[in-house]
Structure 1
Amino acid sequence: MNPKNTEFNKFRSFFWPIHKHELIKFVPMLFLFFFVAFNYHLLRIVKDTLIITAPKGGAETLPFLKVWCILPFAIFMTFLFTKLSNKFNREKIFYMFISIFLIFYLIFIIFLYPKRDVLALNRTADYLTSILPKGFNGFVAIIRYWCYSLFYIMAECWSTIVVSVLLWGFANDTIKVPEAKRFYALFGLGINSAGIFAGQTVSLITKKNINLVSNKYFQSSWDNTLLIIISIILIFGVISMIIHRWLHKNIFQNRQYSNEQKDYKMSLKKNITFIFKSRYLLSIALIVLSYNVIINLTEILWKSQLRELFPTPQQYTSYMSKITILIGILASISSYFVSGNVIRRLGWGKAAMITPLIIILTAIGFFSFLFSKQFLSSFSIFGMSSLTLCVFFGSTQNIFSRACKYTLFDDTKEIAFIPLSTKDKIKGKSAIDGIGSRLGKSGSSFIIQLLLMMFITPAACSPVIAVLILIIIPIWISSISVINKNFQTTQSKIETI
């Protein structure tokens, strides 16, 4: 009997389903996921703090950013990816995109942020405020703080392009379905443990009030906190490229995907059209859209309440670092003990159903207290104000939703791509992850913009948003059923070959 094919005992299968001969590729890939995800978690904390806690910013800025800035830029980046894919292999594209992001973050911290007051378009913004309705305050803030807006865009695209398209695309290219069922949950552990360490790092920096630099540009504790965080992002970005290069040089030197890519030319329009022609890929796109629409709708409501409770950058960053830690802990536990075992024992379909069920259950608690805050202003429990309760249950909803996303949702979504051909994977994944997630967030943001025109504040829009979530959940669940049926059929054919 070949030792490579021996089964694990129950204990090993549950905790560490990795063969000894697989460690040489599994461990470096685990570290690659960790460092890329560490940057993602740091960027997620910083981007919100900058724009939400700006003097004339706020959570109402986010819908305008996601529609008028992030979506067009995500389409451009996806277009750039498809064009580069016609000329270069995926390894070189990885280095190109990582370099683009790191160069921008460097420019931001050494030039844009120090000159933020000079570069702010206050006169233009003040004029627009005087002629536009109050519902456009978020749009005006984008223009006023255009440097922060640009950082927010590049931070969001790190998630879309680097994590979803490049990193997971690399894993899908090099790992087979039987390996993925064992590897992906542990890769999720790498991503989620990065959240714990990133949150702890930011929490430590904010508590210590480290004054790394003291001059007219970096005077406050928050200024130095931002400088340290960006420096860490730059270092870990370089380390990620080094690990990626080592893997290609020592493990995947015989990778064949580039030869297949030469047989066809990619175009953004054709890739999107291809998705609509495939019921399987369209269903994957729908679950991605559904998740992103719901999480964006609820997060904007939650963050608007969060800013009321924690108005300063240092307070907001400190609280968000704690949320990041809790998400990381819960997601790590899920990755290690739940995700992989649920997928292996219950199958793809039941595992994929868990995320929408968790989201709807936690949303019930959040919206209940949000409505209580709006309509019962003196409402309190155990001495906690309605605002505190709203933030607490909103945080709970966000923690559980994000933890599910980083484990069961991502794992099942990525596994769904694996049975496809390399051509279909690249075309489908670049369009779904590059644009689909952005379209979900931007579409929901556009809805919130329309609601803000009528209701002025995000909280006032909450009843309509609750109804929209109840409409989207059944669409998500039905799409999972379609994928599961086709996945099982495709996988059975592969296993008989």
Structure 2
Amino acid sequence: MTKPQGFVSKDRNLHVCKAEAAASASPADEQPLLGEPEQPKFLGIELVTLKKIIPLGLMFFCILFNYIILRDTKAVLSVTAQGSSAEIIPFSKTWVYLPMAIGFMLLYRKLANFLSKKALFYTVIVPFIAFFGAFGFVLYPLSNYIHPQEFADKLLNVLGPRFLGPCAILRIWSICLFYIMDELWGSVVIFVLFWGFATQITTVDDAKKFYLLFGLGANIALIFSGRTVKYFSMMRKILGRGVDGWAISLKAMMSIVVVMGLAICGLYWWVNTSVPLPTRSKKKEKLKMGIRRGA
């Protein structure tokens, strides 16, 4: 026996009303399902979320702390080095930094095709840490021996003043390399590594709530790094004569940069091993990154 047409229409309307009511319910009104344990919270925030956001904030602090110290250091080194001048900065950005940035993009694209995300993170950041440590303890103390000052002078006399920029880069090549590595730290570690990792482990709702707080961490990093640079600048004044105060200050600051870099690696490792990542839609086959995708 079939239902009259009127009853069928009412049942359909009833189901539609129930579906609309369920869809319009706000997330705040949702309650855990029967038998599903409620996630522990602290100050109204789930502990799982805090275990992601707090390490991310600390990573962002360490990255920007290093960047500001390196930025202040590179400016002083590039201008005050023997045989250098302020003209070397725009030349280095155009003819050295730009080719190295393009080369890094191509290398990163190649590495991303066969390395895991964890291995790729360490492969990129560890050379930065190693270089800054080596610069403070090896390259700069030996700068008088490894910088070809006389050869650069002869080359400049042969080529003429039009090649003042390339000869200046050759004259203080280790300091120019330090300048370029600092520029790459700002573009690679901050924008590629950190924000790529942040978008990987956070949900859209978490990003809306907590990404703005990272700006607070940036301001705190600016305060602490500025005071650190000021402290070591004042320390050079109280050292006795005959002591290379700049070399001592540089070693101390590069030691801090290395420690902060290792802290970044430690925080990255802890998040990957201790925090459950949000579920993502998995693809059947890993797509190889082309030049446009890698960019």
TM class by shorter chain equals 0.7 to 0.9
- Equivalent residue number for residue 23 of structure 1: 50
Q: 1:158 Cα deviation (Å)?
A: 0.9
The answer on whether the counterparts of 1:58 and 1:138 sit within 8 Å (CA) in structure 2 is no
Q: Name which of 44, 48, 70 aligns with 2:71.
A: 44
AA of the residue aligned to 1:130: N
Gaps of 5+ in 2: 1-24, 30-42
Distance 1:119-1:96 versus aligned 2 partners, 3 A rule: same
The answer on whether the counterparts of 1:42 and 1:229 sit within 8 Å (CA) in structure 2 is yes
The answer on whether the counterparts of 2:201 and 2:277 sit within 8 Å (CA) in structure 1 is no
TM-score by length of 2: 0.78
Q: Name which of 136, 142, 150 aligns with 1:123.
A: 150
Distance 1:266-1:148 versus aligned 2 partners, 3 A rule: same
State the Cα deviation string for residues 309-360 of structure 1 (Å, max 9, x = none). Answer: xxxxxxxxxxxxxxxxxxxxxxxxxxxxxxxxxxxxxxxxxxxxxxxxxxxx
After the TM superposition, which residues 52-451 of structure 1 pair with which residues of structure 2 at under 5 Å, given as runs?
52-134=79-161, 136-209=163-236, 219-253=243-277, 256=280, 260=283, 262-268=285-291, 271=292, 427=293, 430-431=294-295
Larger Rg: 1 or 2?
Answer: 2
**Count, aligned residues:** 257
The answer on whether the counterparts of 2:63 and 2:264 sit within 8 Å (CA) in structure 1 is yes
AA of the residue aligned to 1:51: S
Q: Distance in 2 between matches of 1:237 and 1:76?
A: 23
AA of the residue aligned to 1:230: M
- Equivalent residue number for residue 403 of structure 1: none
The answer on whether the counterparts of 2:129 and 2:261 sit within 8 Å (CA) in structure 1 is yes
More helix by share: 1
TM-score by length of 1: 0.48
Q: Distance in 1 between matches of 2:238 and 2:134?
A: 21
Q: 1:166 Cα deviation (Å)?
A: 0.5
Q: Distance in 2 between matches of 1:95 and 1:255?
A: 23
Q: Distance in 1 between matches of 2:284 and 2:111?
A: 11
Higher relative contact order, chain-length normalized (CA < 8 Å, sep 6+): 2
The answer on whether the counterparts of 1:112 and 1:147 sit within 8 Å (CA) in structure 2 is yes
State the Cα deviation string for residues 18-68 of structure 1 (Å, max 9, x = none). Answer: 835432221111111101111111111111211111132122101221122
Q: Distance in 2 between matches of 1:93 and 1:84?
A: 7
- Equivalent residue number for residue 35 of structure 1: 62
User: Which deviates more, 177-186 or 228-237?
Assistant: 177-186
Q: Distance in 2 between matches of 1:81 and 1:18?
A: 40
Distance 1:77-1:137 versus aligned 2 partners, 3 A rule: same
Q: Percent identity among equivalent residues?
A: 34
- Equivalent residue number for residue 7 of structure 2: none
The answer on whether the counterparts of 1:62 and 1:138 sit within 8 Å (CA) in structure 2 is no
Q: Distance in 2 between matches of 1:116 and 1:148?
A: 9
Q: Distance in 2 between matches of 1:77 and 1:121?
A: 27
Distance 1:183-1:136 versus aligned 2 partners, 3 A rule: farther
Distance 1:261-1:58 versus aligned 2 partners, 3 A rule: farther
Gaps of 5+ in 1: 7-16, 272-426, 432-497
Q: Distance in 2 between matches of 1:54 and 1:175?
A: 44
State the Cα deviation string for residues 126-147 of structure 1 (Å, max 9, x = none). Answer: 1233244545433321110001
Q: Distance in 1 between matches of 2:263 and 2:26?
A: 34
Q: C-alpha root-mean-square deviation of aligned residues, in Å?
A: 2.8
Q: Distance in 1 between matches of 2:117 and 2:136?
A: 29
Distance 1:255-1:63 versus aligned 2 partners, 3 A rule: farther
Q: Distance in 1 between matches of 2:44 and 2:123?
A: 32
Q: 1:99 Cα deviation (Å)?
A: 0.9
User: What is the DSSP-based 3-state SS (H/G/I as helix, E as strand, rest coil) of the residue aligned with 1:56?
Assistant: coil
The answer on whether the counterparts of 1:34 and 1:193 sit within 8 Å (CA) in structure 2 is yes
